[in-house]
Amino acid sequence: MSILIDQNTRLLVQGITGREGQFHTARMLEYGTNVVGGVTPGKGGLTVHGVPVFDTVAEAVRATGANASVLFVPPRLTLDAIFEALAAGLKTVISIAEGVPVKDMLQVYHYTKNLPDVHVIGPNSFGVISPGKAKAGFMAHEIYSQGPVGLMSRSATNSYETVLGLTRRGIGQSTCVGVGGDTIPGTSFVDLLPLFEADEQTKAVVLIGEIGGADEEIAAEYIKNHMTKPVVAYIAGRNAPKGKKMGHAGAIVGASGVGSAQSKIEALAAAGAYIAESPDHIGELLEKILS
């Protein structure tokens, strides 16, 4: 099994005729992902790498039976693209763009928070990959391997380093999710934890967080009260100065220390998570946990 996407996923690519859309559609097809259609308004009737292009998501869903979408569209068009996908009945919508306005994601958050089984991943996400089954995003799929570890990360770079280390140790992954580093993600750690807990393939979960916000502390509360599977956590940005944004839009620590690495680490440790000191240490801990 896996979460969010698998070999049965019928994927749409919104923005398929753009440079990034065309390039990554080819890579997703190369991996074996079942890309059934693309959407670019005004370009209906074309094909990209053999994939039919439609003018609207609704038209594409009717013609192909698509059940998920990945968005390679500019930040200013992301809100409309997300709502178009949701209106067409798609349950998994993955947004890649960086720089989506916070006010736009507030609308998405409030619209989707009470919708059952709907997951908007991102924005500012590397995508989702269930190794050996399907990928929807721009990650280098060569470093992933199929196995028992679920991974969710706010940072693309830290997730790549971690996955490469796991694969080299012979530890495969069930699903890896790029939560995204923006202030308001469509789907947070606490939304993904129940999915990994219910997934039969996943035997342990890796949480890669960073400074800023309270998503890790909220996840810690869920881990303490509901998770039966071991969770390994790594928090990036321990030495970041207070009051200064570091990298991602959401990576900022208030002067009071709210959102600091230390507060997150303490909360996760108190919840029973294994705390990693580095991406490589994640692999060391998992070797012991899974042995």
Sheet containing strand 134-137, edge to edge, reads 134-137, 127-130, 173-178, 146-153, 204-210, 231-236, 274-275
Q: How many angstroms separate the CA atoms of 127 and 138, rounded? A: 7
3-class DSSP assignment, residue 163: helix
Alpha helix segments (H runs only) across 32-101 = 57-64, 75-87
Q: How many angstroms separate the CA atoms of 35 and 52, rounded? A: 10
Active site residue 49: no
Which residues lie below 8 Å from residue 100, measured CB to CB, with a gap of 6+?
A: 75, 78, 79, 123, 124, 182
Q: Helix 215-226 crosses helix 189-198 at what angle (to 10 degrees)?
A: 30
With beta carbons less than 8 A apart as the criterion, state whether 93 and 86 touch: yes
- Respond yes or no on whether the N-terminal peptide bond of residue 123 is cis (omega within 30° of 0): yes
Task: Tell me which residue of 61, 59, 63, 118 sits closest to 94, measured CA to CA.
Answer: 118
The separation between CA 28 and the C-alpha centre of its own chain, rounded to angstroms, equals: 16
Query: Which one from 119, 141, 248, 281 is the annotated catalytic residue?
Result: 248
Do strands 204-210 and 134-137 pair parallel, antiparallel, or not at all (unpaired)?
Answer: unpaired
With beta carbons less than 8 A apart as the criterion, state whether 33 and 49 touch: no
Taking the CA of residue 220 as centre, how many other CA atoms within 13 Å lie in the half-sphere pointing to its CB? Answer: 21
Task: Tell me which residue of 247, 234, 63 sits closest to 153, measured CA to CA.
Answer: 234
Q: Which residues belong to the active site?
A: 248
